[in-house]
Structure 1
Amino acid sequence: MATAADPVNIRTSVWLAARPASGARRRCEDPTGLDRDRITGAAVRLLDTEGLTRFSMRRLAGGLGVTAMSLYWYVDTKHDLLELALDSALGELTLPADSPPAGWAGRLRALACGYRGLLAERPWVATLAAEYPNIGPHARAFDAALLRLLDATGLTDGGRTGAHLAVSQFLHGCGGPVRRAPEDDFRFALDVLVAGIEAKTGRQAQTGL
């Protein structure tokens, strides 16, 4: 239990924190020529090559040819930068079109396989996705695409909510063993998930529930 002598350090997500009004002044005064997008891109590349355990602001700054303190002109903390890197990586996913010939099931398979591929290529994404809230613009776009395809199933209310939870848990569950699990096992699990949603839509059509 935390006491006054042992306070809990509660941080605010970078996506919820108010951006300082002095951003333009910072850019003018900072001699490095950096910006937040460039720093985020460099962070993603460092995470890809070094992994999360070896990631540090000092290493990142060295790769950019600046001092570590220069980075703090644009991000308040290392955690903020990791949140930015996470959402940047999610932005590289190709979201399925709203109305492909394969219908919602094909869109769900494309979404799941794309996410699995991202986690296989970048294991650090799964770790950060479990640690930080996924509320950046690209994370919201991903979830919006998932909600649109679930709308296309015809499920309503509790059924749609349950399907959203099941799919979300399935996708995030791919993160741990993604490199070890055989592709056939993943595809079978995905087929079971799709079949379960199809069965639910069929029962709902028959009973209206």
Structure 2
Amino acid sequence: MAADDKPFESVWTRPRRQREQLSREQIVAEAVRLLDIEGLEALSMRRLGTRLGAGATSLYRHVANKDELIELVVDEVYGELTVPEPGDPANWRATIESCAYSVRAMVLRHPWVAVVLGQVGLAYLGPNVIRLSERMLAVVEGAGFAVEESDRVMSTVLAYVIGMATSEAAYLSMLARSGRTEQELMESLQPSAEEAMRDHPRVRESQSAMRGRDPEQLREANFDYGLQRMLDGLAVRLEHLATG
């Protein structure tokens, strides 16, 4: 068989094994727990098998390799997302906003997911990812976008949400390793920050305006600002499409 004819391998393209003592669902659930506690670098088939009280061979009956396991865990956490059923097309903005916040919350619960989204390949065949995509596309098309443009709208919104949430998750992971609260970290950095900004009045004024605000609320406000400006742009685009 020529290299070009070799089928693309994915966990979603192979039939599932039935009536095994160790199920795929058990494997995936334990893998997510391991990733949440110890991060991506701790995930291996051997380590996972040990946590499940089974040899790695038992896992290989369900997943061919670690890449396939990543496909499964990504789809699993996508199953946590809440995407309302398409309703009144006029409510498209509120629906997309709700979905965006759900994606952000998922990434913050599972910081490792942002690292692997670029390598999942055919994870888009996963049932939860497809369910999310179907509902989002229905909302965007119902708002007035054509089919081809709807996919671009969805991709653009998700790119913003995942990009912002990835930076936020990395910051929170660093914070957890430090053993400090956000407020404690900010206070400890204050003297150095003031010295660094001494000759930069605009930066100093900007930081002064945020001083004393709750860090968690500030992070959410920053996320929401960008999301709302993106939705503003989509609303303008819809008006342009409506007027031809």
Into which bin does the TM-score normalised by the smaller protein fall? 0.7 to 0.9
Taking only the aligned residue pairs, the percentage that are identical comes to 31
The answer as to whether partners of 1:57 and 1:78 remain within 8 angstroms in 2 is yes
Unaligned runs of 5+ in 2: 1-6, 172-217
CA spacing shift, 1:123–1:188, aligned 2, 3 Å: same
Larger of the two Rg values belongs to structure: 2
Partner of 1:87: 75
For the pair 1:194 / 2:182, whether they are aligned, the reply is no
Query: CA contact under 8 A between 1:159 and 1:200: conserved in structure 2?
Result: no
Paired AA for residue 62 in structure 2: Y
Amino acid at match of 2:95: R
Equivalent AA in structure 2 for residue 13 of structure 1: S
Kindly indicate which of the two structures has a greater share of residues assigned to helix. Answer: 2
2:164 aligned partner, one-letter code: C
Per the TM alignment, residue 19 of structure 1 is displaced from its structure 2 partner at its CA by 2.2
Q: Is the 8 A contact 2:89 2:143 kept in 1?
A: no
Kindly provide the amino acid, as one letter, of the partner of residue 112 in structure 2: W
> Quick check: 1:116–1:178 contact (8 Å CA) kept in 2?
no
> 1-side partners of 2:135 and 2:42: how far apart?
33
Separation (CA, whole Å) in 1 of partners of 2:34 and 2:49: 10
CA distance in 2, matches of 1:75, 1:126: 22
Greater shift, 46-55 or 166-175, is seen at: 166-175
Q: Which amino acid in 1 is paired with 2:239?
A: G
- The count of aligned residue pairs is 191
Misfit runs of 4+, over 4 Å: none
Which of 42, 55, 64 is the equivalent residue of 1:67?
55
* Contact 1:96–1:145 under 8 Å retained in 2: yes
Deviates more, 1:106-115 or 1:149-158: 149-158
Tell me the distance in 1 between the aligned counterparts of 2:233 and 2:103.
20
Contact 1:95 1:145 in 2 (8 A): yes
TM (norm. structure 2) is 0.71
Q: CA deviation at 1:191?
A: 0.4
**Cα distance in 2 between the residues matched to 1:161 and 1:90:** 18
